[in-house]
Amino acid sequence: MSALSFPPALRLRASSPSAPANRRKHAARASVVAALGGDGGCGGSGMEQLRQGKASGSPVQEKPVMSNIGKSTNILWHDCPIGQPERQKLLGQKGCVIWITGLSGSGKSTVACALSRELHCRGHHTYVLDGDNLRHGLNRDLSFKAEDRTENIRRVGEVAKLFADAGTICIASLISPYRRDRDACRALLPDSRFIEVFMDLPLELCEARDPKGLYKLARTGKIKGFTGVDDPYESPVNSEIVIKMEDGECPSPKAMAMQVLFYLEKNGYLQA
């Protein structure tokens, strides 16, 4: 039989069966390199610094600075090019923490949900961190002893800080009875991003409401260490917002939520 003859294009493909695969491989490698070194990658620390040092031909490669924080050793903070300013611009608001504190039965959760609803209806991104809800999961291993209450507030403060960094208006609703613990959470958030709301309602009113029946249990000795009964509540001294009774009446949930919302508007939190 005579030898088969192929058109030039077919001869090229037949003689180089791996050419398309190689081209795809080179293209994929180029895209990875671009991602590592371009605007889409995280840079400025760790192994990426070492890679950049090798690429630049630097004679001295600086080692990443490791930290020891608490019981965590040899840890490294990684920065990414998309930060809080970019997230805030995307959402059209400033990330912050609205920390609602007060006695059990003072209406913290009610105000938190009412405020979240008002902000949501105006197109703002919020998230509510409710004390009881968090004890169903994140803080389920903590009791109501003083040391566990402190750890409870510390954890919530750190989570709330992450929400604020994400550009979200985080509404934390907890009794948080100890002033030092609330102040520690305030210290986590610079630039006035911590807004304390004090539900300054009398114990008699809160106990009369007793929506969970906890005051009754505390008064009969069935619950120990209950805030306002046999454990102290340390009132804030520098709250940004104080909600009180007006002419002997408690404001409506909407009115209390609007008081907080007006503060946010006045101080520029509802714009990037």
- Of 176, 235, 239, 252, the catalytic one is 176
User: DSSP for 130-153?
Assistant: EHHHHTTTTTTT--SSHHHHHHHH
For this structure, is 176 an active site residue? Answer: yes
User: Tokens 């998230």 — which residue?
Assistant: 127
- Torsion angle (degrees, nearest 10) of CA 199, 200, 206, 207: 140
The helix or strand, by DSSP H or E, that contains position 97, with its residue range, turns out to be strand 96-101
Most distant CA atoms of the chain, gap in Å: 110
Name which of 172, 143, 137, 141 is nearest 156 in CA terms: 172
Residues 6+ apart with CB under 8 A from 94: 88, 167, 193, 268, 269, 270, 271, 272
Question: Which residues participate in catalysis according to the annotation?
Answer: 176
